[in-house]
């Protein structure tokens, strides 16, 4: 994701706490109050400019979505989309995924989406991959029992690494597609990266995995 310096982004985020939740730690264990209903909560880690979650929130009004994005200059684009669409079932958090367990308690979340996560191809950076075992533990500690991770990427190396990481962690591989756009999967909502890579002729890998607890 190309980072542009946007000095105004911080203010814009602070002015819209109804969309980019301020002090998210204060809602740990209580996220249904933020949405005003008991619908299930699905989060996307590394949400980027928000195309996927805006599409999902429109497609599934009975699911609450939360997008997690580290960079102000990127999340502000998702915020502008949200201001335009005014979706009641989508919130954004401008935080590092490493802090997820300060924000969500066990059973707060029903599903984690990881879309086109940074591949960190060098072995010495493996710990930064969002499918590394420490992240799988973080997700386990905020998901309901039997919660799921849904993962898409164009990167074959990251996909193979992640399938091994999921399997070694003891997750059940429920669904694996080696070419999502030629599969019979219905209701796919494209992310920005997915659109870019598939337009360039690259295949998209997808899997669904489930915690067995
Ligand atoms: N999911 C989007 C898509 O498919 O179009 C964006 C993909 S982009 C390659 C990865 C995004 O994850 C970037 O916006 C990056 O800033 C974000 N990201 C990476 N590591 C993160 C972390 N530790 N916490 C929160 N966001 C992170």
Query: Would 27 be classed as within a structural domain?
Result: no
| Spatial distance between the Cα atoms of 12 and 170, rounded to a whole number of angstroms | 42
Domain coverage including residue 169:
39-210
Residue among 70, 77, 102 to mutate when testing ligand 1 (max atoms within 8 A of CB): 70
Count of domains observed in the chain? 1
Give a yes or no: residue 16 inside a domain: no
- Which of ligand 1's atoms lies nearest the C-alpha of 114? 1
ipTM of model over 0.95:
yes
Q: Does residue 3 belong to any structural domain of this protein?
A: no
Tell whether 184 is covered by a domain: yes
Q: Which two tokens stand for residue 128?
A: 């930064």
- Asked if residue 71 is part of any domain, the answer here is yes
Backbone angles phi, psi at 15, to 5 degrees: -80, -10
Share the mean pLDDT of the chain: 96
- Annotated catalytic residues are 118
140 lies in a domain?
Answer: yes
- Tokens 């999502």 locate to 180
Q: What are the tens digits of pLDDT across the range 87-133?
A: 999 999 999 999 999 999 999 999 999 999 999 999 999 999 999 99
Residue nearest to atom 20 of ligand 1 (CA): 46
Give 180 Cα–ligand 1 centroid separation in angstroms: 20
Residues near ligand 1 (Cβ within 6 A): 1, 46-48, 68-71, 74, 96-98, 115-118, 191-194
Q: What spacing in Å lies between the alpha carbon of 117 and ligand 1's midpoint?
A: 6
Give the CATH number for residue 149.
3.40.50.150
Is 7 within a domain?
A: no
Residue 21 falls within a domain, yes or no?
no
Strands in the chain per DSSP E:
41-45, 64-68, 90-93, 109-115, 143-153, 172-177, 205-210
Give the pLDDT band of residue 28 (cuts 50, 70, 90): very high
Per-residue pLDDT tens digits for 183-208: 999 999 999 999 999 999 999 999 99
For residue 2, pLDDT beyond 70:
no
């Amino acid at each position: 994701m190309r980072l542009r310096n946007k000095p105004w982004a911080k203010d814009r985020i602070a002015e819209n706490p109804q969309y980019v939740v301020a002090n998210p730690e204060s809602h740990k264990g209580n996220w249904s109050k933020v949405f005003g209903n008991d619908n299930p909560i699905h989060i996307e880690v590394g949400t980027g400019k928000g195309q996927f979650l805006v599409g999902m929130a429109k497609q599934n009004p009975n699911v609450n979505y939360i997008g997690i994005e580290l960079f102000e200059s990127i999340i502000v684009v998702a915020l502008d989309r949200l201001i335009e669409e005014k979706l009641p079932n989508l919130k954004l958090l401008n935080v590092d995924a490493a802090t997820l367990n300060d924000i969500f308690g066990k059973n707060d979340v029903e599903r984690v989406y990881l879309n086109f996560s940074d591949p960190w191809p060098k072995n010495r950076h493996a710990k930064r991959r969002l499918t590394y075992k420490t992240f799988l533990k973080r997700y386990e500690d905020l998901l309901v029992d039997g919660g799921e991770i849904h993962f898409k990427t164009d990167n074959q190396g990251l996909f193979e690494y992640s399938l091994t990481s999921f399997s070694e962690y003891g997750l059940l591989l429920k669904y694996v597609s080696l070419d999502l756009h030629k599969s019979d999967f219905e209701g796919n909502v494209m992310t920005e990266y997915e659109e870019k890579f598939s337009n360039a002729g690259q295949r998209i890998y997808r899997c669904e995995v489930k915690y067995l607890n």
